[in-house]
Amino acid sequence: MDIRALGYIGFKSPNAKEWAGWGPEILGFSTAPPITETPHHRVSALSYGATQVEGATYLRMDDRMWRIAVYPGDRDELAFIGWELTDRIAFQEALVELKAANVPFELANEAQALERGVQGMAWFRDPAGFRHEIFWSGYYFENSFIPGHYPMKKGFRVGRLGIGHLVVMVPKLTEELDHFATRILGMRLYAGGTSIPLSGGDGGRVRTEMYRGRNNLRTHNLVYMEKPGYYGLHHIFIEYDELDDMGRSYDLVQKKSKYPLVMTIGRHQADTFLSFYVQTPSKFVFEVAWNSMLIDDKAFVQDRPLHSFVWGLEMVGPILLDHLKIDPAAEVGSINPAAGSEPARSEGWPRKIATK
């Protein structure tokens, strides 16, 4: 399938309501509705109001209905990942591909799709149990994004590029996961491998694989990170259009945020954006960035830096991973699935992946 962008992300959290304050005040997300009373309001797609989950916080980054949703739940966990396709025809073709690959999926009804802010949606699970959604035609209302804090020059860099990327942890990276990303989702590789060993033991070595939508210009949209004994959402990458907007949020994180800075501002090597990391009300981390690279497919070849960072990115706070710990004897395919309705499963899918 031809994934064009990471369109939206949802997760569950006991602190869903806290996002309504922290998200706008610290990072500038909007919680204002995407449409106000206008002469055309009564004939819009939202004439009877958008379907929303009671107690959820919907965070906006642009003129779309929302980009990040936080639903009330007993624990912090990833609920779903929303991948944008070109149009209705691409969506129908993707369903044919899923069926041919024996990947069970479920179609959303009209109310479910509208809650996501799209015209059509279907969902399925990867071999690790994470819920992936594909959709077409996101609703928007132009010039309706109102930043959650001021001043803000341009806001978030989203649009056709999508949100950015997310990193999910799995106890073991397998051929099944790689097949899912490259053959089922149709993604390209950007980077990956096992970190270079440090002195003493394994030196905290981790293995990652980074993937991007086949026609998305960002370097990566989806990352699987291997760490035995861990499973779940590690961090989400978001980006500003202007350095000053990122800098102001960096100040607010240090001066006003209840949740601490995790890594100082600095520059990466593989993708040369500037970023910093901050803990969120739901334990996972936001990587907050500016000036990410865009891919030139004709010139791109996969390579690997000897070290991830050029400067900065010093660890100054905790990355809380205890909530991601799982039973080492479990199989990923049998772990409590990501939040949502009952999992789309059939015999043999998702394939169970041993954690050892």
Residue 248 φ/ψ, nearest 5 degrees: -65, -40
**Res. 226 pLDDT band, cuts 50 70 90:** very high
Between 320 and 301, the more confident residue is 301
Whole-angstrom CA distances from 138 to 10, 208, 241, 259, 324 are: 15, 31, 21, 32, 31
Characterize 22-34 residue by residue with b for buried, 16 or more Cβ atoms within 10 angstroms of its Cβ, and e for exposed: bbbebbbbbbebb
pLDDT at 265: 97
Secondary structure letter of residue 23 according to DSSP: I
Is it the case that residue 248 has pLDDT exceeding 90? yes
Residue range 176-185: mean pLDDT, rounded: 97
Q: List, in order of start, the domains of the chain with CATH numbers.
A: 3-140+154-324 (3.10.180.10)
CA distance 210 to 303: 12
Closest CA to 90 of 112, 61, 119, 127: 119
Structure tokens at 75: 């624990």
**Per mean pLDDT, which range of 42-56, 164-178, 296-310 is the poorest?**
42-56
Closest CA to 114 of 47, 45, 55: 45
pLDDT confidence bin for 36, thresholds 50/70/90: low
Question: Rg (Cα) of the chain, in Å, rounded?
Answer: 20
Per the rule left: phi > 0, alpha: psi between -120 and 50, beta: everything else, 162 is: left
- In the three-class reduction of DSSP (H, G, I as helix; E, B as strand; rest coil), residue 160 is classed as helix
Given this model, what pLDDT does residue 186 score?
97
pLDDT at 343: 45
Q: What is the pTM of this model?
A: 0.89
* pLDDT level of residue 170 (50, 70, 90 thresholds): very high
* Predicted local distance difference test score (pLDDT) of residue 338: 40
Using the predicted structure, report yes or no on whether residue 40 has a pLDDT greater than 80.
no
What's the pLDDT band for 51 if we cut at 50, 70, 90?
A: confident
SS (H, E, C) 199-210: CCCCCCCCEEEE
Question: How do 285-290 and 232-240 pair as beta strands?
Answer: parallel
Indicate if the alpha-carbon torsion angle 298, 269, 220, 276 is positive or negative: negative
pLDDT confidence of residue 201? 44
Average pLDDT over residues 302-318: 83
Bridge partners, residue 125, by sequence: 131
Amino acid at 66: W
